[in-house]
Amino acid sequence: MKQVFTKMFLGFLFVLVEINIIALDILPDPLGYFFIYLALEKIWSEYKIRNRSRLIAIILFAFSLPTIFVQQSNADITGAIMSDGWQLYMSALGIGKLILVFYVFQIMMKLAKKFGDEEMLKKTEKTSKVYIIAMLIVSCMQPFLMNLDSDIRTGAGLVLIGVGLIMDIVLLILLFRFRTLETERLDTLEQTTDSNT
């Protein structure tokens, strides 16, 4: 479980962090989506948990290839000029990521149930609801920002960026915590067995 969620953690970290040298992304999104796909494939092969997440991860891998060479930015939020096609592409990529995260949360809840970790299950359920609602609000508010006064647009854009960043960090923390799920369950079983003997 540790290797699987380490790959998934790294995958989402690659998708979240953007470091560019000249016009080349050092932590490319496609590599992140490929790590996520590998982690989901391993979960499917070991635990037979099915959902559409593997398909979505591989589609996002292919769909995000242009982001290696074109610098992504939050210019649509902060007001810089971007082409309509690129804005549409980035919005579609964001919606695809949100769908992928939804399915990843479903897998995480199934794994928490499978290992009988009620605390992790409750945390995952709560986090998934807050994450999905917050990111939907951020996604829905972005198109309306262009109609606002530039000062208001900049302030509101920064708030939306902050909310999105905080939610992505919460997701990364939860993924990092899931790395110990199987180990914690085995430790609990060993302690129960020792106390019974």
- Taken as a whole, the chain contains a residue count of 197
pLDDT 10s digits, 43-98: 999 888 878 899 999 999 999 998 887 766 544 444 445 567 887 888 899 999 99
Within a domain: residue 195?
A: no
Within a domain: residue 196?
A: no
Task: Quote the domain boundaries for residue 176.
Answer: 2-183
Task: List the one residue out of 55, 71, 58 whose CA is nearest residue 31.
Answer: 58
pLDDT 10s digits, 148-184: 888 888 899 899 999 999 999 999 999 999 998 876 6
- Answer whether 60's CB lies under 8 Å from 35's CB: no
Within a domain: residue 192?
A: no
Q: Tell me how far CA of residue 23 lies from CA of 20, 34, 68, 75, 155, in angstroms.
A: 6, 21, 8, 16, 28
Query: Which letter does DSSP use for residue 26 in this model?
Result: S
Q: How many domains does the chain have?
A: 1
Within a domain: residue 82?
A: yes
Within a domain: residue 142?
A: yes
Within a domain: residue 18?
A: yes
Higher pLDDT, 66 or 22: 66
pLDDT 10s digits, 121-140: 999 999 999 999 999 999 99
Within a domain: residue 190?
A: no
pLDDT at 20 over 80: no
DSSP string, 97-146: HHHHHHHHHHHHHHHHHHTT-HHHHHHHHHHHHHHHHHHHHHHHHGGGGG
Within a domain: residue 27?
A: yes
Distance CA 109, CA 59 (A): 23
